Structure 1
Amino acid sequence: MRLSAPIYKLKRRARRLARDEKIALHEALDHIAREEGFSAWSLLSSHLAMNSPSKTLLSRLADGDLLLLGARPGHGKTLLGLQLLLDAAREGRKVVFFTLEYTEREAWERIHSLDGDVLGLGDKLEIVTSEDICADFIIRHLSGAPRETVSVIDYLQILDQQRSKPALSDQMLVLREFARKTGVVLGFISQIDRSFDPERETMPSVRDIRLPNPIELGVFSKACFLHDGEVRLQDVA
């Protein structure tokens, strides 16, 4: 069964309903679930868990993959990246979230919004916030990480904003070589260019990635795009 909106939008709708109607959040969540064809929010959540795109995505990733994760703002690319890390951590993998966008507190808040039960994952899930994040920084930090480590970088375009850092094309080539040698999976959250028109195409593609400075997109081995609750994964290289 396809939901009328992505899960994060349904939760947002429930919070608004709870506030407007002055009812408990769990009541509002159940109300939204019934609108979606489920008798309770717990059943809707179970349905999503069994059909989670993040679990499908994780199962498709091989050691050393470079993943491009792209969508327009508000379509869930960051949440999917974080859910991917949670799924990997629950498999016992080491996971690292490098973010130039959030503070550590904000990142943890986003993670808890996906799943409040992250106890026991503290030694697996690491959040790194630093203005110095770049290819060399990432490689130094992940040096010695076990194979099958999964890392998500938030986000691709910010790596290219500081003139003191190497060109993004050079950074990506270095990171691809590092991933191939170590077996670490690197995912890059990416913006989609405003020229993408959902009236003409139902899903963004590699050619819709916003790149102020060009890079060889064949550096990525896989790409995952989101739009209006739909998710599409494809091989690139």
Structure 2
Amino acid sequence: MKTTQPIYHLKRKAKALSRAEDIPLHQALDRIARDEGYGRWSLLAAKASETTPASELFAHLRPGDLLLVGARPGHGKTLMGLKLAVEAMKSGHPGVFFSLEYTRENVDDRFRAIGVDRSQFDHLFEFDGSDAISADHMTARLVSAPRGTLVVVDYLQLLDQKRENPELSAQVGILKVFARQRGIIMVFIAQIDRSFEMAQKPLPDIGDIRLPNPLDLQLFDKTCFLNNGKMVFGAAA
């Protein structure tokens, strides 16, 4: 059964419904799913995941890789990061989600949005929403992480928002060395500049990354860009 609209549009409708009627997001998602002919959102999401590119993208990642995932707000970049963590956990590897924006409750909502029962991964999934998130904080938390751990950083442009933190380029450099040494995959969620919306391009590219502070984008090994339900994956160089 096909949905009447792309799934990212349905998620937007659910968020708007949640705000308009002051109900939890998971209830709004279930109502949207019923309108689409599914008993609950998890069933709709599971059906959509059969054709999701997350598993295909994960297959291209190698221990030590730094992946940059970019999209404008509402186009699924954070969900893609979470889906990649789920793919890693399905393979028996830990998934760690660092966020300077989301709460644990927000992440639980996102698990429900992609039709995943987080409890099945309780022994593999870690969430860190500390205000102290930086390269030093993350390397300290990950010092015992086994090879193959997939780490999501949400999001790139917030890492140096505190003046006491090193500049962004230095932090990504530290994390690159750490990931290579430990065999960890690091997925950085990145904002896309608003100018992309005026460029009349189907998908953003590395030149559209919003950079309020200097950053050598060649530090990343691979990129993934999302827009209107489409995705492009490639090397960063």
TM-score bin (small chain): 0.7 to 0.9
TM-score by length of 2: 0.85
Residue 139 (structure 1) aligns with:
139
Unaligned runs of 5+ in 1: 35-39
* Residues 116, 222 of structure 1: alpha-carbon distance in 2 compared, 3 angstrom cutoff: closer
Residue 225 (structure 2) aligns with:
225
| Conservation of the 8 A alpha-carbon contact between 1:226 and 1:232 | yes
* CA deviation string 1:92-132 (max 9, x = no partner): 11010000001222222222222252222101011001111
| Conservation of the 8 A alpha-carbon contact between 1:93 and 1:124 | yes
Residue 214 (structure 1) aligns with:
214
Structure 1: distance between partners of 2:194 and 2:84: 26
Residue 236 (structure 2) aligns with:
236
Residue 55 (structure 1) aligns with:
55
1:154 to partner: Cα distance: 0.4
Residue 107 (structure 2) aligns with:
107
Is 1:32 paired with 2:36? Answer: yes
* Residues 198, 86 of structure 1: alpha-carbon distance in 2 compared, 3 angstrom cutoff: farther
SS of the equivalent of 1:119 reads helix
SS of the equivalent of 1:120 reads helix
| Conservation of the 8 A alpha-carbon contact between 2:54 and 2:87 | yes
SS of the equivalent of 2:36 reads helix
Q: Counterpart amino acid of 2:36?
A: I
| Conservation of the 8 A alpha-carbon contact between 2:33 and 2:44 | no
Structure 2: distance between partners of 1:123 and 1:43: 24
Structure 2: distance between partners of 1:137 and 1:175: 11
1:90 to partner: Cα distance: 1.8
1:91 to partner: Cα distance: 1.6
Residue 205 (structure 1) aligns with:
205
Structure 2: distance between partners of 1:72 and 1:64: 26
* CA deviation string 1:198-223 (max 9, x = no partner): 65211100010001111110000001
Alignment of 1:171-182 (within 5 A): 171-182=171-182
1:46 to partner: Cα distance: 5.2
1:45 to partner: Cα distance: 4.5
Structure 1: distance between partners of 2:152 and 2:231: 18
Structure 2: distance between partners of 1:59 and 1:33: 32
Q: Counterpart amino acid of 1:177?
A: V
Residue 158 (structure 2) aligns with:
158
Residue 183 (structure 1) aligns with:
183
If you compute each CA radius of gyration, which structure gives the higher value, 1 or 2? 1
Residue 25 (structure 2) aligns with:
none
Q: Counterpart amino acid of 1:29?
A: A
1:86 to partner: Cα distance: 1.6
* Residues 11, 145 of structure 1: alpha-carbon distance in 2 compared, 3 angstrom cutoff: same
Deviation above 6 Å: which 4+ runs of structure 1? 1-4, 24-27, 40-43
Q: Percent identity?
A: 43
Report the RMSD for the aligned CA atoms in angstroms. 2.8
- Tell me how many residue pairs correspond in the alignment: 228
| Conservation of the 8 A alpha-carbon contact between 1:89 and 1:121 | yes
Deviates more, 1:168-177 or 1:5-14: 5-14
| Conservation of the 8 A alpha-carbon contact between 2:32 and 2:41 | no
Residue 81 (structure 2) aligns with:
81
* Residues 28, 157 of structure 1: alpha-carbon distance in 2 compared, 3 angstrom cutoff: closer
Deviates more, 1:141-150 or 1:190-199: 190-199
